[in-house]
Homo-oligomer: A and B are copies of this chain.
Amino acid sequence: MSRVYNFSAGPAVLPEEVLKEAQADLLDYKGCGMSVMEMSHRSSMFNDIIVEAEKDIRTLLSIPDNYKVLFLQGGAWTQFSAVPMNMMNKHHKAGYITTGQWATKAYKEASKYGEVVELASSKDKNYTYIPDCSDLPITDDMDYVYICQNNTIYGTEYWELPNTKGVDLVADVSSDFLSRPMDVTKYAVMYGGVQKNIGPAGLAISIIRDDLITDDVYPNTPTMLMWKTQADKDSLFNTPNCWGIYMCGLVFKWLLKNGGLEGIAKKNADKAKILYDYLDQSKLFKPTVTDKKSRSNMNVPFVTGDKDLDAKFVAESKAAGLENLKGHRTVGGMRASIYNAMPKAGVEKLVTFMEDFEKKNLK
Protein backbone atom coordinates (compact mmCIF):
# COMPACT_ATOMS: atom_id res chain seq x y z
CA MET A 1 0.00 0.00 0.00
CA SER A 2 1.16 3.53 -0.61
CA ARG A 3 1.20 6.07 2.18
CA VAL A 4 -2.14 7.45 3.29
CA TYR A 5 -3.03 11.01 4.23
CA ASN A 6 -3.08 10.79 8.02
CA PHE A 7 -5.27 13.41 9.72
CA SER A 8 -4.60 12.04 13.23
CA ALA A 9 -4.68 14.57 16.09
CA GLY A 10 -1.50 13.04 17.46
CA PRO A 11 0.71 11.12 17.24
CA ALA A 12 0.50 12.45 13.72
CA VAL A 13 1.94 12.60 10.24
CA LEU A 14 5.69 13.22 9.90
CA PRO A 15 7.51 14.57 6.84
CA GLU A 16 8.10 11.71 4.40
CA GLU A 17 11.63 12.83 3.60
CA VAL A 18 12.48 12.82 7.32
CA LEU A 19 11.16 9.28 7.67
CA LYS A 20 13.20 8.22 4.64
CA GLU A 21 16.37 9.67 6.12
CA ALA A 22 15.73 7.89 9.44
CA GLN A 23 15.09 4.68 7.53
CA ALA A 24 18.30 4.94 5.50
CA ASP A 25 20.42 5.53 8.62
CA LEU A 26 18.59 3.11 10.89
CA LEU A 27 21.26 0.40 11.16
CA ASP A 28 24.29 2.59 10.58
CA TYR A 29 24.05 6.28 11.44
CA LYS A 30 26.39 8.25 9.21
CA GLY A 31 28.85 5.37 8.94
CA CYS A 32 29.37 4.96 12.69
CA GLY A 33 28.34 1.32 12.58
CA MET A 34 25.36 1.53 14.90
CA SER A 35 21.79 2.78 15.11
CA VAL A 36 20.94 5.99 16.93
CA MET A 37 18.82 3.65 19.11
CA GLU A 38 22.01 1.87 20.20
CA MET A 39 24.16 4.90 21.00
CA SER A 40 25.25 5.78 24.48
CA HIS A 41 23.68 9.10 25.44
CA ARG A 42 27.15 10.02 26.73
CA SER A 43 28.82 9.38 23.35
CA SER A 44 30.21 12.17 21.21
CA MET A 45 27.95 11.01 18.36
CA PHE A 46 24.80 11.47 20.39
CA ASN A 47 26.14 14.66 21.90
CA ASP A 48 26.41 16.07 18.38
CA ILE A 49 22.77 15.09 17.76
CA ILE A 50 21.35 16.76 20.86
CA VAL A 51 23.54 19.86 20.61
CA GLU A 52 22.56 20.31 16.97
CA ALA A 53 18.88 19.79 17.76
CA GLU A 54 18.98 22.45 20.46
CA LYS A 55 20.85 24.84 18.17
CA ASP A 56 18.27 24.36 15.43
CA ILE A 57 15.20 24.88 17.60
CA ARG A 58 16.89 28.00 19.00
CA THR A 59 17.31 29.26 15.46
CA LEU A 60 13.74 28.40 14.46
CA LEU A 61 12.15 30.21 17.41
CA SER A 62 14.90 32.83 17.92
CA ILE A 63 15.16 31.66 21.52
CA PRO A 64 17.11 34.17 23.62
CA ASP A 65 20.16 33.05 25.60
CA ASN A 66 18.35 33.48 28.91
CA TYR A 67 15.94 30.66 28.07
CA LYS A 68 16.82 27.01 28.61
CA VAL A 69 15.62 24.32 26.20
CA LEU A 70 14.88 21.00 27.92
CA PHE A 71 14.14 17.67 26.26
CA LEU A 72 11.95 15.80 28.74
CA GLN A 73 10.00 12.61 29.17
CA GLY A 74 6.51 12.14 30.55
CA GLY A 75 4.59 14.27 28.08
CA ALA A 76 2.74 17.51 28.67
CA TRP A 77 0.85 15.71 31.42
CA THR A 78 3.97 15.55 33.60
CA GLN A 79 4.42 19.29 33.08
CA PHE A 80 0.88 19.83 34.41
CA SER A 81 2.46 18.97 37.78
CA ALA A 82 5.94 20.36 37.11
CA VAL A 83 4.66 23.86 36.28
CA PRO A 84 3.05 24.49 39.70
CA MET A 85 5.73 22.53 41.59
CA ASN A 86 8.48 24.71 40.08
CA MET A 87 6.65 28.02 39.81
CA MET A 88 4.16 28.41 42.68
CA ASN A 89 6.95 29.47 45.00
CA LYS A 90 6.25 33.11 45.78
CA HIS A 91 2.52 33.48 46.37
CA HIS A 92 1.43 29.85 45.91
CA LYS A 93 -1.25 31.11 43.58
CA ALA A 94 -1.81 31.05 39.82
CA GLY A 95 -4.46 31.93 37.25
CA TYR A 96 -5.68 29.47 34.61
CA ILE A 97 -7.74 30.09 31.49
CA THR A 98 -9.71 26.95 30.67
CA THR A 99 -10.34 26.64 26.96
CA GLY A 100 -10.66 22.88 26.76
CA GLN A 101 -9.97 19.52 28.36
CA TRP A 102 -6.20 19.89 28.54
CA ALA A 103 -6.24 23.33 30.15
CA THR A 104 -8.83 22.01 32.61
CA LYS A 105 -6.69 19.00 33.48
CA ALA A 106 -3.69 21.27 34.04
CA TYR A 107 -5.87 23.53 36.22
CA LYS A 108 -7.04 20.63 38.38
CA GLU A 109 -3.54 19.22 38.77
CA ALA A 110 -2.19 22.64 39.80
CA SER A 111 -4.83 22.93 42.52
CA LYS A 112 -2.92 20.24 44.47
CA TYR A 113 -0.01 22.63 44.88
CA GLY A 114 -1.54 26.01 45.61
CA GLU A 115 -4.48 28.34 45.08
CA VAL A 116 -5.72 28.26 41.52
CA VAL A 117 -8.06 30.84 40.04
CA GLU A 118 -10.04 30.17 36.88
CA LEU A 119 -9.61 33.51 35.11
CA ALA A 120 -11.85 32.76 32.16
CA SER A 121 -13.40 29.77 30.46
CA SER A 122 -15.17 28.89 27.25
CA LYS A 123 -16.93 25.92 28.77
CA ASP A 124 -20.32 27.64 28.35
CA LYS A 125 -20.17 26.99 24.60
CA ASN A 126 -18.37 23.61 24.69
CA TYR A 127 -15.02 25.35 24.27
CA THR A 128 -15.76 26.58 20.75
CA TYR A 129 -14.09 29.95 21.23
CA ILE A 130 -11.18 31.73 22.89
CA PRO A 131 -12.47 34.15 25.55
CA ASP A 132 -11.65 37.84 25.52
CA CYS A 133 -8.41 37.98 27.50
CA SER A 134 -7.78 41.72 27.35
CA ASP A 135 -8.84 42.49 30.91
CA LEU A 136 -8.92 39.40 33.10
CA PRO A 137 -9.02 39.44 36.93
CA ILE A 138 -5.27 38.87 37.14
CA THR A 139 -3.63 40.03 40.36
CA ASP A 140 -0.02 40.74 41.32
CA ASP A 141 0.00 37.84 43.75
CA MET A 142 -0.28 35.25 41.00
CA ASP A 143 2.91 33.36 40.31
CA TYR A 144 1.85 32.84 36.69
CA VAL A 145 -1.01 32.80 34.21
CA TYR A 146 -1.56 29.57 32.29
CA ILE A 147 -3.04 28.85 28.86
CA CYS A 148 -3.31 25.93 26.46
CA GLN A 149 -2.51 27.77 23.26
CA ASN A 150 -4.14 25.43 20.75
CA ASN A 151 -7.05 23.23 21.75
CA THR A 152 -6.68 20.01 19.80
CA ILE A 153 -10.06 18.60 20.66
CA TYR A 154 -12.14 21.72 20.01
CA GLY A 155 -10.14 23.32 17.20
CA THR A 156 -9.47 26.70 18.75
CA GLU A 157 -6.22 28.63 18.96
CA TYR A 158 -5.06 31.83 20.64
CA TRP A 159 -4.01 34.26 17.90
CA GLU A 160 -3.40 36.95 20.48
CA LEU A 161 -1.82 36.24 23.86
CA PRO A 162 -3.71 37.24 27.01
CA ASN A 163 -2.92 40.53 28.64
CA THR A 164 -1.33 39.08 31.77
CA LYS A 165 -0.80 42.50 33.36
CA GLY A 166 2.87 41.80 33.90
CA VAL A 167 2.43 38.31 35.36
CA ASP A 168 4.49 35.49 33.81
CA LEU A 169 2.74 33.54 31.06
CA VAL A 170 2.97 29.74 30.80
CA ALA A 171 1.69 28.10 27.63
CA ASP A 172 1.12 24.48 26.69
CA VAL A 173 1.83 24.69 22.96
CA SER A 174 1.68 20.93 22.28
CA SER A 175 -0.54 21.22 19.26
CA ASP A 176 0.77 24.38 17.60
CA PHE A 177 4.44 24.04 18.52
CA LEU A 178 6.63 25.32 15.66
CA SER A 179 3.59 25.84 13.43
CA ARG A 180 4.26 29.60 13.17
CA PRO A 181 6.67 32.18 14.59
CA MET A 182 6.12 32.81 18.29
CA ASP A 183 7.83 35.51 20.32
CA VAL A 184 9.46 33.47 23.08
CA THR A 185 10.11 36.59 25.14
CA LYS A 186 6.35 36.94 25.66
CA TYR A 187 6.32 33.62 27.54
CA ALA A 188 7.96 32.65 30.81
CA VAL A 189 7.53 28.99 29.88
CA MET A 190 6.48 27.43 26.59
CA TYR A 191 6.24 23.66 26.52
CA GLY A 192 4.64 20.84 24.65
CA GLY A 193 4.62 17.21 23.73
CA VAL A 194 6.25 16.81 20.33
CA GLN A 195 3.91 14.15 18.96
CA LYS A 196 1.66 16.48 17.02
CA ASN A 197 3.78 18.90 15.04
CA ILE A 198 7.35 17.79 15.58
CA GLY A 199 8.24 14.17 16.18
CA PRO A 200 7.35 10.77 17.59
CA ALA A 201 5.56 10.45 20.93
CA GLY A 202 7.55 10.14 24.14
CA LEU A 203 9.25 13.50 24.25
CA ALA A 204 8.27 16.94 25.52
CA ILE A 205 10.22 20.13 24.98
CA SER A 206 10.16 22.93 27.58
CA ILE A 207 11.54 26.37 26.90
CA ILE A 208 12.00 28.06 30.25
CA ARG A 209 13.27 31.52 31.23
CA ASP A 210 16.31 30.79 33.33
CA ASP A 211 15.33 32.79 36.42
CA LEU A 212 12.50 30.28 36.89
CA ILE A 213 14.91 27.39 37.21
CA THR A 214 15.37 27.09 40.91
CA ASP A 215 15.79 24.88 43.96
CA ASP A 216 12.88 26.71 45.55
CA VAL A 217 10.25 24.18 44.53
CA TYR A 218 7.23 22.57 46.17
CA PRO A 219 8.30 20.45 49.17
CA ASN A 220 9.53 16.98 48.19
CA THR A 221 9.11 17.52 44.48
CA PRO A 222 10.45 14.37 42.78
CA THR A 223 13.95 15.02 41.44
CA MET A 224 12.83 14.30 37.89
CA LEU A 225 10.08 16.94 38.07
CA MET A 226 12.43 19.72 39.16
CA TRP A 227 13.37 21.67 36.03
CA LYS A 228 16.76 22.40 37.59
CA THR A 229 17.64 18.70 37.47
CA GLN A 230 17.70 18.59 33.69
CA ALA A 231 18.64 22.25 33.17
CA ASP A 232 21.90 21.77 35.08
CA LYS A 233 22.78 18.76 32.90
CA ASP A 234 21.59 19.98 29.50
CA SER A 235 18.80 17.34 29.46
CA LEU A 236 21.29 14.52 30.13
CA PHE A 237 20.78 14.05 33.87
CA ASN A 238 19.51 10.58 33.06
CA THR A 239 19.08 8.69 29.79
CA PRO A 240 16.74 10.74 27.59
CA ASN A 241 14.52 9.57 24.73
CA CYS A 242 17.47 9.62 22.33
CA TRP A 243 15.55 8.45 19.29
CA GLY A 244 12.87 11.08 19.87
CA ILE A 245 15.48 13.82 20.11
CA TYR A 246 17.11 12.57 16.92
CA MET A 247 13.81 12.53 15.01
CA CYS A 248 12.89 16.03 16.23
CA GLY A 249 16.33 17.19 15.12
CA LEU A 250 15.64 15.90 11.61
CA VAL A 251 12.31 17.73 11.60
CA PHE A 252 14.02 20.96 12.75
CA LYS A 253 16.38 20.67 9.76
CA TRP A 254 13.40 20.04 7.47
CA LEU A 255 11.70 23.18 8.80
CA LEU A 256 14.88 25.26 8.38
CA LYS A 257 15.26 24.03 4.80
CA ASN A 258 11.65 24.92 4.02
CA GLY A 259 11.58 28.55 5.06
CA GLY A 260 11.63 28.20 8.84
CA LEU A 261 8.57 29.12 10.87
CA GLU A 262 7.61 31.96 8.52
CA GLY A 263 7.53 29.46 5.69
CA ILE A 264 5.58 26.79 7.52
CA ALA A 265 3.14 29.38 8.93
CA LYS A 266 2.23 30.47 5.43
CA LYS A 267 1.74 26.87 4.30
CA ASN A 268 -0.35 26.09 7.39
CA ALA A 269 -2.52 29.17 6.83
CA ASP A 270 -3.03 28.20 3.19
CA LYS A 271 -4.09 24.67 4.10
CA ALA A 272 -6.46 25.86 6.81
CA LYS A 273 -8.01 28.44 4.48
CA ILE A 274 -8.75 25.81 1.84
CA LEU A 275 -10.62 23.71 4.41
CA TYR A 276 -12.44 26.54 6.23
CA ASP A 277 -13.45 28.22 2.95
CA TYR A 278 -15.03 25.02 1.82
CA LEU A 279 -16.73 24.41 5.19
CA ASP A 280 -18.13 27.94 5.36
CA GLN A 281 -20.03 27.50 2.12
CA SER A 282 -20.92 23.83 2.40
CA LYS A 283 -24.56 22.91 2.75
CA LEU A 284 -23.76 19.54 4.29
CA PHE A 285 -20.76 20.08 6.58
CA LYS A 286 -20.58 22.67 9.35
CA PRO A 287 -17.45 23.76 11.18
CA THR A 288 -18.00 23.54 14.95
CA VAL A 289 -15.94 26.69 15.54
CA THR A 290 -17.98 29.50 14.02
CA ASP A 291 -16.03 32.29 15.71
CA LYS A 292 -13.50 32.85 12.93
CA LYS A 293 -10.92 34.64 15.06
CA SER A 294 -10.73 31.60 17.41
CA ARG A 295 -10.17 29.02 14.71
CA SER A 296 -7.15 26.76 14.88
CA ASN A 297 -4.93 26.30 11.85
CA MET A 298 -4.01 22.87 13.20
CA ASN A 299 -7.25 21.07 14.09
CA VAL A 300 -10.48 21.58 12.18
CA PRO A 301 -13.58 19.86 13.63
CA PHE A 302 -16.75 19.65 11.56
CA VAL A 303 -20.09 17.84 11.61
CA THR A 304 -22.99 17.04 9.33
CA GLY A 305 -25.47 17.09 12.22
CA ASP A 306 -26.42 13.49 11.46
CA LYS A 307 -24.47 10.84 13.37
CA ASP A 308 -25.07 8.12 10.82
CA LEU A 309 -23.88 10.36 8.02
CA ASP A 310 -20.79 11.29 10.05
CA ALA A 311 -20.00 7.61 10.49
CA LYS A 312 -20.51 7.00 6.78
CA PHE A 313 -18.14 9.85 5.98
CA VAL A 314 -15.44 8.50 8.30
CA ALA A 315 -15.72 5.01 6.79
CA GLU A 316 -15.72 6.17 3.18
CA SER A 317 -12.90 8.69 3.65
CA LYS A 318 -10.78 5.97 5.26
CA ALA A 319 -11.40 3.72 2.28
CA ALA A 320 -10.21 6.58 0.07
CA GLY A 321 -6.87 6.84 1.94
CA LEU A 322 -7.90 9.74 4.21
CA GLU A 323 -7.22 8.35 7.67
CA ASN A 324 -8.19 9.30 11.21
CA LEU A 325 -10.91 11.83 10.45
CA LYS A 326 -13.20 10.69 13.25
CA GLY A 327 -13.82 13.53 15.71
CA HIS A 328 -13.20 13.44 19.43
CA ARG A 329 -16.10 11.86 21.35
CA THR A 330 -16.82 15.11 23.22
CA VAL A 331 -17.37 17.03 19.97
CA GLY A 332 -18.54 14.26 17.67
CA GLY A 333 -18.46 14.37 13.89
CA MET A 334 -15.12 14.72 12.22
CA ARG A 335 -11.80 16.43 12.84
CA ALA A 336 -9.03 17.05 10.35
CA SER A 337 -5.67 17.68 11.99
CA ILE A 338 -3.49 19.41 9.43
CA TYR A 339 -0.16 19.82 11.20
CA ASN A 340 3.11 20.98 9.65
CA ALA A 341 3.80 17.70 7.91
CA MET A 342 0.38 17.38 6.25
CA PRO A 343 0.95 18.30 2.60
CA LYS A 344 -1.35 20.76 0.89
CA ALA A 345 -2.24 17.93 -1.51
CA GLY A 346 -3.71 16.03 1.46
CA VAL A 347 -6.05 18.90 2.31
CA GLU A 348 -6.98 19.35 -1.34
CA LYS A 349 -7.77 15.66 -1.62
CA LEU A 350 -9.89 15.89 1.53
CA VAL A 351 -11.87 18.85 0.21
CA THR A 352 -12.41 17.16 -3.14
CA PHE A 353 -13.62 14.08 -1.31
CA MET A 354 -15.95 16.20 0.84
CA GLU A 355 -17.38 17.99 -2.21
CA ASP A 356 -18.08 14.67 -3.81
CA PHE A 357 -19.58 13.28 -0.60
CA GLU A 358 -21.75 16.38 -0.28
CA LYS A 359 -23.11 15.98 -3.79
CA LYS A 360 -24.00 12.37 -3.15
CA ASN A 361 -25.48 12.83 0.31
CA LEU A 362 -27.16 16.22 0.40
CA LYS A 363 -30.88 15.67 0.64
Q: Is A363 an interface residue (CB 8 A)?
A: no
Are A240 and B32 in contact, with the CB atoms below 8 A? no
Kindly state the separation between the CA atoms of A109 and B14 in the bound complex, as whole angstroms.
Answer: 38
Residues from chain B with a CB closer than 8 A to the CB of A201 are: 37, 41, 239-243
Most B Cβ at <10 Å: residue of A16, A19, A80, A224: A224
Are B38 and A8 in contact, with the CB atoms below 8 A? yes
Which residues of A22-69 have CB atoms within 8 Å of chain B's CB atoms? 22-23, 26-28, 31-35, 37-41, 43
Are A6 and B19 in contact, with the CB atoms below 8 A? no
Stretch of A70-78, A276-284, A306-314 that contacts chain B: A70-78
Q: How far is the CB of A43 from chain B (nearest CB, A)?
A: 7
Residue of B nearest to A341 (CB): B38
Kindly state the separation between the CA atoms of A112 and B218 in the bound complex, as whole angstroms.
Answer: 12
Q: Is A333 an interface residue (CB 8 A)?
A: no
Are B10 and A28 in contact, with the CB atoms below 8 A? no
Kindly state the separation between the CA atoms of A35 and B3 in the bound complex, as whole angstroms.
Answer: 9
Contacts A40-B324, A74-B78; A34 near B13 (Cβ below 8 A)? yes
Q: Is A11 an interface residue (CB 8 A)?
A: yes
Q: How far is the CB of A354 from chain B (nearest CB, A)?
A: 20
Are A224 and B81 in contact, with the CB atoms below 8 A? yes
Q: Is A269 an interface residue (CB 8 A)?
A: no
Interface size class of A (residues with CB under 8 A): 35 or more
Contacts A8-B43, A41-B201, A239-B201; A19 near B35 (Cβ below 8 A)? yes
Residues from chain B with a CB closer than 8 A to the CB of A257 are: none
Q: How far is the CB of A274 from chain B (nearest CB, A)?
A: 22
Q: Is A334 an interface residue (CB 8 A)?
A: no
Q: Is A137 an interface residue (CB 8 A)?
A: no
Contacts A8-B40, A28-B3; A243 near B200 (Cβ below 8 A)? yes
Are A11 and B39 in contact, with the CB atoms below 8 A? yes
Kindly state the separation between the CA atoms of A243 and B241 in the bound complex, as whole angstroms.
Answer: 10
Residues from chain B with a CB closer than 8 A to the CB of A243 are: 200-202, 243-244
Q: Which listed residue (B13, B38, B203) contacts A13, Cβ 8 A?
A: B38
Are A113 and B220 in contact, with the CB atoms below 8 A? yes
Kindly state the separation between the CA atoms of A201 and B36 in the bound complex, as whole angstroms.
Answer: 10
Q: How far is the CB of A169 from chain B (nearest CB, A)?
A: 22
15 more A-B residue pairs beyond the given contacts A112-B220, A202-B203, A202-B240, with a C-beta to C-beta distance below 8 A: A4-B34, A6-B33, A8-B38, A12-B40, A23-B26, A23-B27, A33-B321, A37-B199, A43-B324, A73-B78, A82-B222, A200-B242, A202-B242, A202-B243, A218-B220
Query: Contact residues of A with B, CB < 8 Å?
Result: 1-4, 6, 8-14, 16, 19-20, 22-23, 26-28, 31-35, 37-41, 43, 73-78, 80-82, 85, 109, 112-113, 193, 195, 199-203, 218, 220, 222-225, 237-244, 247, 321, 323-324
* 7 shortest interchain CB distances as A-B pairs: A202-B241, A81-B222, A4-B33, A37-B200, A73-B73, A23-B26, A77-B238
Pairs across A and B, CB under 8 Å, 5 listed: A11-B39, A19-B26, A74-B78, A75-B239, A222-B225
